[in-house]
Structure 1
Amino acid sequence: MKWTAGTSILLFAGALASMATAAEPEPLRLLPCDTTDAASLRAWQQRARVTLSVLLNMDDQIVANRHDERGRSPLPLHPKVLETTREKAFTRYLVEIDSRPDRRIKVVLTVPNDARPNRTPAVVCIHGHGGNRDIVYNPNNNYRGFARVLAERGYVTLSTDVGQHTVQSPHRTLMGERLWDLIRVVDLAASRPEVDSTRIGCAGLSLGGEMAMWLGAMDQRIAVAVSSGFLTTMENLRHGHCMCWDFPGLQRRYEFSDIYALIAPRPLQCQNGQKERLPGGFPVSLAKQAMADIRQAYRAAGHEEAVELAVHPAGHVFDVPSAVRFLNAALKPGG
């Protein structure tokens, strides 16, 4: 090639065009929820769960864990009771179970002292960043002791430690490992003689609210979900927040409202406080924006009444009275 000033200009222009193309963000939300009608929604949900299980690197685990008609897992838990403490209304156990054959996790389990076989509802109670399995029972923090309140009101409750920022297995994802541990906690709940396996719910705050979203979306044994202090948009969480919520392929295909839509038509309550911090918090304005999309899914399913956004006057805290009301309506109707 003979080099001239014109050639240099053309090459430079081509390089700029290439750089501009490379800098363009990849398209986002290519597989949004299909709310055309109930049948379209169900078909989309089925496809989305398969896609997400692959993106989460846990499709093999989900296939292996196909439960029976009573919600019981074929995978052994090998439960071992490490501690027992009897209180006035319930007995607290510290139980160790298999998450995977090479990984044991500890679970706080409370059982009402007057529990009857196959009659008791259960709630998986999920903590957020910097928390642990015990913190949701403590009334002196932003969880407001919601797990203890439920335990005292006749629920079986379960809580385990949620992974923070470390992946245990190199071929898994952080979100997939978090979710799998919680699915195994649901397995434990379904295995308990006191628990009515058709009445298992989940509730959490912050990262716990996020995991309540994921657990309700991916495990259809969850009959009701309360997701507190998380409803927002992915665009918001890309600023002023750790990116532990993300994994390859997620943003290209879905928005958080799509993940929540996988819970439809089962009851879903999202909670957001009016005093949430910015940036990186979960403001009511963005929650309302996301909820509008979620409502479309529930409307398509014919159960718009089953979803609600509970706005409270505080900040990043769990609204216990609202959650108890919602869980009671779904898991203890008339009682």
Structure 2
Amino acid sequence: MSQNVVSNQTPPSKAEQRKVLYQLLGRLPDRQRPITVKQISREETDELIIEKLLLDINGQELVPAYFTLPKKAKGKVPVVLFNHSHFGQYAVGKNEFIKGRPEMQNPPYALALARAGYAGLCLDSWGFGERSGRPELEIFKEMLWKGQVMWGMMVYDNLRALDYLETRPEIDNKRIATMGMSMGSTMAWWLAALDERIKVTVDLNCLTDFQALLEDKGLDRHGIYYYVPDLLNHFTTSQINALIAPRPHLGLAGSLDPLTPLKGLHKIDENLKKVYASEGAPQAWQLKIYPVGHLETAEMRQDILAFLKKWL
């Protein structure tokens, strides 16, 4: 066939691309199944209300979570769906949101967000926190046998968390953001790509270009949960993130971070600049690279809160 033949085929719409991306996530529970929630405890400090919840959202395993609210909140408030990181520290999970971790700045994000006027929600992901009874690899293998994808089940829980947030009377449903570090960063951009209810996205230290990671022989740097069957035959990292446009999206990365090869970061940045410009929102995409490794610096924290203040 001549190389000069121009295809008249219409590129797939974002809705069609989202459908394909979601289908790659394996056999998932019904998105319409009822959600039930039990409040385990409620704690108040001078600045913060912390509810510990137990959610039945997937029908297979109960999901512990923290919901937080500024103590002096009046009327409906914006909310941040916070996604915890991995670090091979399975016992931490959602406690990262409330208690922080050494790789992140103080105060922990629950309090930092409350001081900025935001509510927050953070789930224990599969294999973490109060769900850490079984090894990650065992969960992955069992799910694989059942036609499930571990990452898909993790994403599903957080998509249903958005459904739950819409039922909270305190929440302004038109002002929902998502963010996270490391594994939580990847979760943030997947969620925003799949669900337009998320209006602002912040990913910290895991905007990894898949091809650059392959070229860098770096696949072992990410956990087994990260790998979605058949993904590379359909999407690049840039193509998934393009589904977020033109909604505001801040990526933060360390130039010395082995999880995000620098060549790949530049490729994503170049691609998304074009996408956001073509959709009339060139200022809504930002990638900031700092001379650090896999951690959050004080400057990063300042930039994240400023981005949320501007766009959320």
TM-score range, shorter chain: 0.7 to 0.9
Q: Secondary structure in 2 aligned to 1:191?
A: coil
Tell me how far 1:135 sits from its aligned partner.
1.1
Q: Secondary structure in 1 aligned to 2:225?
A: coil
CA contact (8 A) 2:200 2:247 kept: yes
Say whether 1:312 aligns with 2:290. yes
Q: Secondary structure in 1 aligned to 2:18?
A: helix
Change (3 A) 1:57 1:211: same
Say whether 1:256 aligns with 2:237. yes
| Counterpart residue number, 1:148 | 111
- Give the alignment partner of residue 218 of structure 1, picking from 166, 175, 194: 194
Structure 2 stretches of 5 or more lacking a match?
Answer: 1-9, 128-135
- Give the alignment partner of residue 54 of structure 1, picking from 11, 18, 23: 23
Distance 2:98 2:104 in 1: 8
- Give the alignment partner of residue 165 of structure 2, picking from 189, 194, 205: 189
- Give the alignment partner of residue 225 of structure 2, picking from 244, 247, 256: 244
| Counterpart residue number, 1:274 | 255
Q: RMSD of the alignment, in Å?
A: 2.0
Tell me how far 1:202 sits from its aligned partner.
0.4
Distance 1:140 1:172 in 2: 31
Q: Size of the alignment, in residue pairs?
A: 276
Structure with higher Rg: it is: 1
Q: Which amino acid aligns with 1:190?
A: E
CA contact (8 A) 1:265 1:301 kept: yes
Distance 1:222 1:159 in 2: 15
Q: Secondary structure in 2 aligned to 1:79?
A: strand
Say whether 1:103 aligns with 2:61. yes
Tell me how far 1:90 sits from its aligned partner.
1.4
Tell me how far 1:57 sits from its aligned partner.
2.2
Tell me how far 1:134 sits from its aligned partner.
0.9
Structure 1 stretches of 5 or more lacking a match?
Answer: 1-39, 66-74
Q: Secondary structure in 1 aligned to 2:52?
A: strand
Say whether 1:265 aligns with 2:246. yes
Tell me how far 1:94 sits from its aligned partner.
0.5
Q: Which amino acid aligns with 2:24?
A: L
CA contact (8 A) 1:135 1:143 kept: no
Change (3 A) 1:321 1:58: farther
Q: Which amino acid aligns with 1:44?
A: S
CA contact (8 A) 2:29 2:59 kept: no
Q: Which amino acid aligns with 1:88?
A: D
Q: Secondary structure in 2 aligned to 1:244?
A: helix
- Give the alignment partner of residue 157 of structure 1, picking from 105, 120, 123: 120
Distance 1:204 1:326 in 2: 14
CA contact (8 A) 2:78 2:175 kept: yes
Matches within 5 A, 1:1-335: 43-57=12-26, 61=30, 64-65=31-32, 75-117=33-75, 119-129=76-86, 130=89, 131-144=92-105, 145-163=108-126, 165=136, 166-167=139-140, 169=143, 170-238=146-214, 239-240=217-218, 241-242=221-222, 243-277=224-258, 281-318=259-296, 319-331=300-312
Tell me how far 1:208 sits from its aligned partner.
0.6
CA contact (8 A) 2:248 2:311 kept: yes
TM-score (norm 2): 0.82
The C-alpha deviation readout for 1:81-103, integer Å capped at 9, x for no partner, is: 10111011111010111122333
CA contact (8 A) 1:122 1:157 kept: yes
Q: Which amino acid aligns with 1:232?
A: T
Tell me how far 1:154 sits from its aligned partner.
1.6
| Counterpart residue number, 1:68 | none
CA contact (8 A) 2:47 2:111 kept: no
Distance 2:37 2:26 in 1: 26
Q: Which amino acid aligns with 1:321?
A: Q
Q: Which amino acid aligns with 1:79?
A: V
Q: Which amino acid aligns with 2:206?
A: F
The C-alpha deviation readout for 1:20-77, integer Å capped at 9, x for no partner, is: xxxxxxxxxxxxxxxxxxxx78x5312211111111125773xx44xxxxxxxxx432
| Counterpart residue number, 1:11 | none
CA contact (8 A) 2:42 2:52 kept: yes
Distance 1:45 1:60 in 2: 23
Distance 2:212 2:263 in 1: 11
Distance 1:190 1:224 in 2: 16
